[in-house]
Structure 1
């Protein structure tokens, strides 16, 4: 097969003609050329008509522009290469073809481009051939398109060659460039369009944010309502439990009074009281109990009442009250665990820590006295004698203190 290209032995580049080989040698100083049966690729971009001489060029063009569709016209352009440099002949000389008939060679000229755009490109420093080539292949539309084309094709080997087109090729008239006034008007229109689009986008985003804000607000209100409802139910349950506890305590007191009364009648030798006869007086007693509180009788009830009074006397100082309860629980617990240790059964009243935690609060010392502590040495100490240590009383005191600590509504009613 006849050679259809010249291959550079130094870099492997394929060249279409002797002229290209000479230019390549001048640019690179390579001199090792040989004929090759491998044709120089002629890949034409279907979008911008950019010719690519190799797969590397087409890949680079795709990377720069995103164009991926190419038409392979290699077979149309491939023809046996002539190793002789063509001699210059008169344009009017006839060329005889293989069949013996004569034909006039087709005349090639530079394409017509927008002169104003060409002058602007030349003023920017581009050579005339490169500027003409850029305007021709970019569609001769605008200065920006031509500059972009130059940037994309600056590595092309023929970037500075003047493009040629046949004389009889119909060249579309270049689109007239806009005047400065028209350019200003068009730019203003584009800015106005962009502004309106941005305003519409901002309004849409604002509507979305408002919808989200309303949705979140509703969810928060609903969560708050549910939390308040649960809290209300919890408070009602605690108050109901407190009332039931007080009712049970009152019932125990009433039973105790009835038992004591019956015992006194028995000791005096009186007959048992007729329930029907005491019914009216019972209603009176019940009415009095509604308005006059019944004083605690048992020591446990006295302890509970003492703690309740302590909390009510210092209802605005919850932290101090809770600390006093914990301190009292510590004193009682130490005595219960170590009843033989005198240091746990003796408290100095003038101790600053004791005064701050218990002694300074009304009801604190009274509670210890209910547990068996006594003032000695002129009221300087609280002392619990060993023979007066009653574990049942200490355990009851601990239970009442625990109840007062864990019940948040203790002493509220």
Structure 2
């Protein structure tokens, strides 16, 4: 039994006589044949839209971005009872109200068919009504197909009745100007639709870019935090080893002191008078040292800045020019803040700014340096709070950036 109908004019597969009727009204194609092939039914997993061929899938994916489909051809396929469906369509057409008063008033005439074939069928002994119905409903210009149709419909009660259909008037042809205007209107609508789709795709791309930037920054912060944690743990181990070494030296010195006193016949421990004299000597020594006024720099913060810049040099090998551009750009940010720390616009950097992404954030470690200086992420911006924009911090950051830009051996030794 047939699984589908195929339009021999355009090759489209149709799953019912009703679809074939609609296709005929839309395109004028009338040459249909039964087929044992099932109508393809590829269903989009994301929105449920069915697609019958690769072209429909490609168009749907282009407009929506959906790419996953499920083959439900076998689930939706069902054998076709062509005769029953044709009778149902004819009944619906007979019962349907006229679309307009003009259609109701249209005169009934015999449909136009191939007159030569009609004459040949009559000469073979078929009545004019049977031959006319066979040629019209089969939509064929082939003698064998017309005879086959008559044989298959021998039981139809109306097979030998006259076939009269409303006269269909041809649509008036458009003038050259009207056709041109219609074509321009179609092109205009297509252009508007394409521009709308491009705007929507651009919004999706921008959202993806912002998400990717945030994910990249989060990954960089995680890496930096882990590296800093490892450095802190390593420094703690070094301090513990240094403390153990100092304890060993102190114990050794103390043992040597006791040994010298034993050789001199003195008690190992100092007497109270000796301890008092030692304290007095240390006090006099402290008074003798001149006091020099020095400005206290943020040593710990300075070391973190230098370490961040050195790490940038190490993890970005062969990118000396890009590093200089990055450091120069950050130096300009710091300089602007130093000139006017109260100006908010100098203390804000937009993460999605193309220049910032190309010169700064594209290099691993740059965002970590800015965080060390005092910048914090707030939405789509890096912001330095006013209380962190101190002269000591800005001067230290500027000095380290200037050294990185001008010292050819920076990060090497």
Which of the five TM-score ranges fits, normalised by the shorter chain? Answer: 0.3 to 0.5
Bigger radius of gyration: 1
Q: More relative contact order in 1 or in 2 (CA 8 Å, sep 6+)?
A: 2
- Tell me the TM-score normalised to structure 1 length: 0.33
Name the structure where helix makes up a greater proportion of residues: 2
| TM-score between both structures, scaled by the size of structure 2 | 0.33
